[in-house]
Amino acid sequence: MKYIVSVDFGGSKIESALFDLQGNIIKKLRIATNAKKGKKYVLKKLLKIIDWTIEGFNKKEIIGIGIGVASPVNFKKQILGNPPNLPGWSNTPLAKIVQNRFKIKTIVENDVNCAALAESKFTNAKNIVVLTLGTGIGGGIIINNEIYRGNGFAGELGHIIVQENGPKCMCGNRGCLEVLASGTAIRKLSKKVFGKELLASELAKMKNKKAQKVLKEIGKHLGAGLATIVHALDPEEIILAGGVKEAGNALLKPTIKEMKKRVFTDKKVVVRFSQLDDPVLLGAACLFLE
């Protein structure tokens, strides 16, 4: 048997899985990242979870370790950019470190690019855009079935400007899509309306007008962002992944309505939620299945 180790390395959790070459998960582990404790601490945890994942298996049967990381990645050099949610990790040659430790070929890729790669394996569309809506908003672009990297860091779609003078974003700009339509934005807006932070899934379950209004407002911002994506890339599908997908049609409908109102070119683009359970893990494994 041959296997692939796949890691989803995020700012709040690290997940690791062992895949067979048919794409089935044999084993899956999850730990908290505790990113604030610094790089040395987190790296130790990262290596440990890979250790646990391959425990009991013959190293010679593992063809690779794929890591999807919540950071910009210089794919050619296999070096991280400057990740806002992983303090201290700038310019880390992560693939080299892991490869030296385990003596197994290692590939590092941006986590949302991994998710996009996984989605592209499960759709007939050749050109897709994947947005992950969670704490922030990440983007991945697939053109002709391949990840589009531009000059290295393409796909930062959470930082499309939706309101020129809008609220401040983590990136230093104002009015980014991320600050207006992420899971964090939903929590903040529901605090304003209900006096407490609520998740997209909780709002959707409430089924009252006030809750629907919150999701409608978020959907309007999201739709405006999607219109820009359609005008720039004209993809066949835009797939929304991450925790926000729990909001269902209460979010999806106003999003599509706003997008269609603004798009003057291709209104046929399909906007839908992801059907995959672990798109980042699956995509990081796909780095070795191509």
**Rule CB under 5 A: which residues touch Zn ion?**
159, 169, 171, 173, 176
CB 221 within 8 A of CB 177: yes
Q: Which residues make beta-bridge pairs with 273?
A: 240
- φ/ψ of 91, rounded to 5, equals 60, 20
Q: Is 6 helix (H, G, I), strand (E, B) or coil?
A: strand
Shortest reach from residue 123's CB to Zn ion, in Å? 28
Query: Smaller CB distance to Zn ion: residue 137 or 280?
Result: 137
Measure the CA–CA gap between 230 and 222, rounded to whole angstroms: 12
Query: Smaller CB distance to Zn ion: residue 159 or 245?
Result: 159
* Residues with Cβ within 8 Å of residue 275, at least 6 apart in sequence: 122
- Residues shown for the chain: 290
Report the chain's C-alpha Rg in angstroms.
Answer: 19
Shortest reach from residue 158's CB to Zn ion, in Å? 6
Going across the sheet that includes 270-273, the strands are 146-147, 137-143, 128-133, 237-241, 270-273
Shortest reach from residue 129's CB to Zn ion, in Å? 17
What is the token pair recorded at 213? 């209004």
DSSP string, 256-270: HHHHHHH-SS----E
Query: Smaller CB distance to Zn ion: residue 175 or 279?
Result: 175
Shortest reach from residue 216's CB to Zn ion, in Å? 23
Shortest reach from residue 218's CB to Zn ion, in Å? 16
What is the token pair recorded at 186? 């939903």
Query: Smaller CB distance to Zn ion: residue 156 or 217?
Result: 156
Query: Smaller CB distance to Zn ion: residue 14 or 181?
Result: 181
Measure the CA–CA gap between 239 and 259, rounded to whole angstroms: 14
Sign of CA dihedral 62, 55, 53, 109: negative
Shortest reach from residue 162's CB to Zn ion, in Å? 10
Shortest reach from residue 173's CB to Zn ion, in Å? 5
Query: Smaller CB distance to Zn ion: residue 14 or 162?
Result: 162
Measure the CA–CA gap between 159 and 152, rounded to whole angstroms: 16
Query: Smaller CB distance to Zn ion: residue 90 or 123?
Result: 90
* CB-CB neighbours of 167 under 10 Å: 12
Shortest reach from residue 161's CB to Zn ion, in Å? 8
Query: Smaller CB distance to Zn ion: residue 136 or 223?
Result: 136
Sign of CA dihedral 127, 140, 118, 137: negative
